[in-house]
Amino acid sequence: MPRIERDAEVVWNGNLARGGGGLSAATSGAFRDLPFSEPSRVGAPEGKTSPEELLAAAHAGCYAMSLAGELARTPPERLDVRATVVMDEVEGKGHRIVASQLRVRARVPGLDEATFSRAVEAADAGCPFSALIAASADVAIDATLEGGD
């Protein structure tokens, strides 16, 4: 795989408590000015996103692609991956990402459980976001094969 570089931009206005910002995909233009703020980050989202939600989306997307690659011999009909990123107070360190929990539901007709389990583990090992998060937090995977043999 070639070296990959992507850019995102943020514009922030105001202080932390009352300010807000917009996140944009600078490379692709796929999203622009996604609103985020501290109140929506720690409380009710109210239609705004957060860095943690974007990390969860990135981890879920990376893992889904990695698992699809591992299942190349028996391609999945569908992979549903939901990531839940947890940020918490860590004594002496402040707020840190402490976990990312992946819930995987795979529809792969003709695939047995043992092969699926090996693919789930290999996909985690091959997902750069799993490696990044695992360097300082826990990565847990709850994977279910639906429609297998």
* Confidence label for 147 from pLDDT (cuts 50, 70 and 90): confident
| 55, 22: one domain | no
Strand 34-36 and strand 20-25: the pairing is: antiparallel
Residue 19 belongs to what domain range? 8-42
Q: What is the pLDDT of residues 97-121, one digit of tens each?
A: 999 999 999 999 999 999 999 999 9
Cα 135 to Cα 12, 61, 130: the distances in Å are 29, 19, 9
Decide: helix, strand or coil at residue 120. helix
Nearest to 133 by CA among 69, 37, 49, 58: 58
pTM of the model: 0.93
Give domain status of residue 2, yes or no: no
| 34, 86: one domain | no
| 60, 37: one domain | no
| 16, 84: one domain | no
